[in-house]
Structure 1
Amino acid sequence: WTILGIIWLIAISGILFKLIWFHSPRWLSTALYILMGWLIIFAIVPLSANLATNGLILLIAGGIIYTLGGIIYATKPKWLESKYLGFHEVFHLFILTGSFTHFLAVYSYLI
């Protein structure tokens, strides 16, 4: 329950933060989102005790993919820009891939 409470505290803080400082740097809000996602690391021991190794690998892989997508979103790298694809589209591809790995983890090992 502690981790859930911390996540809600960060989420509410993020909402208030955006209401007060609407044009805050993109990297700052992205860092909050990534922090919220990686808070699960504090529950890695009970998680690994109750989840198959492959399920844990899928969860960690999804987290890494989400994080890479967040970094792309926050930094807007120019080298990703092309005539047909920009950083934002690449960001969404990373998020879709991360979501798919998490879906596989839940579907294969929890349901």
Structure 2
Amino acid sequence: MVVSTRAERKAYFASLPKPKARGWIHTIMAPLALANGILLIIFAPTVPARIGTLIFALSAVLLFGNSGIYHRGNWSARVNAVLRRIDHANIFLLIAGTYTPLSIMLLEPARAALVLGIVWTGALVGTFIHVFHIDAPRWFQTLLYVALGWVAVWFLPDFWRSGGPAIFFLLLAGGLAYTIGALFYAMRWPNPWPKYFGFHEFFHVGTVIGYACHSVSVWLAIFR
């Protein structure tokens, strides 16, 4: 079948049955992220660090939990539209939520305020766009995710100096995992087993790997 325009491609992919694995990756991750978040909050050394880890935990549980509900269920058009908007907006919230505890624990207060001001402003703008312009081109959505995820690249030397090489390279590895997953989402590729495990599942795997890398970096920041 030849699919030419964006509208035709969207209709074509929407008409395909969901792969059997759709949603299960994030469904399994939701309780794991909750448990991890609770432990991070318990072991966080200061009140600001606890607030930062709480924000990280909430953003992760919201992303994985809502994604599992959205992708596993068969919803009415109205409910599906709401869950889809939340699903897309949550990516921005998790990006900003990840920067929050790391900036609080590793950066000087003024530097942390600058980083968090940038990423949370970007997250709110991205959330607004995805809530009110949910049908924006897939490449544009991906560009927004990737741009916000790497916006603090200018501050990586600060994270190197304060956190050390392990945290630095975990941040890079997690960012690359998110980016590669986002590219899979944008290109709808690879799609080797459409009935069981498609391109969207590879995207979800990328988010899990990215979250895991960044979670370890938060743990290292707590115990450094």
Alignment length (residue pairs): 109
User: TM (normalized to structure 1)?
Assistant: 0.85
Amino acid at match of 1:16: F
Gaps of 5+ in 1: none
Map 1:39-50 → 2, pairs under 5 A: 39-50=151-162
1:67 matched to 2:67? The reply is no
- Aligned counterpart for 2:208 among listed residues 70, 79, 96: 96
Deviation at 1:32, TM superposition (A): 0.8
Q: Match of 1:110, SS?
A: helix
Rg comparison, structure with higher value = 2
Runs of 4+ aligned structure 1 residues displaced above 4 Å come to none
- Aligned counterpart for 1:21 among listed residues 133, 144, 169: 133
Deviation track 1:6-51 (CA, whole Å, cap 9, x = no partner) reads: 2233223223333443311011112111111111211112111101
- Aligned counterpart for 1:54 among listed residues 166, 169, 190: 166
Gaps of 5+ in 2: 1-112
User: TM (normalized to structure 2)?
Assistant: 0.45
Amino acid at match of 1:89: E
Residues 19, 62 of structure 1: alpha-carbon distance in 2 compared, 3 angstrom cutoff: closer
Contact 2:159 2:167 in 1 (8 A): no
- Determine the structure 2 residue equivalent to 1:80: 191
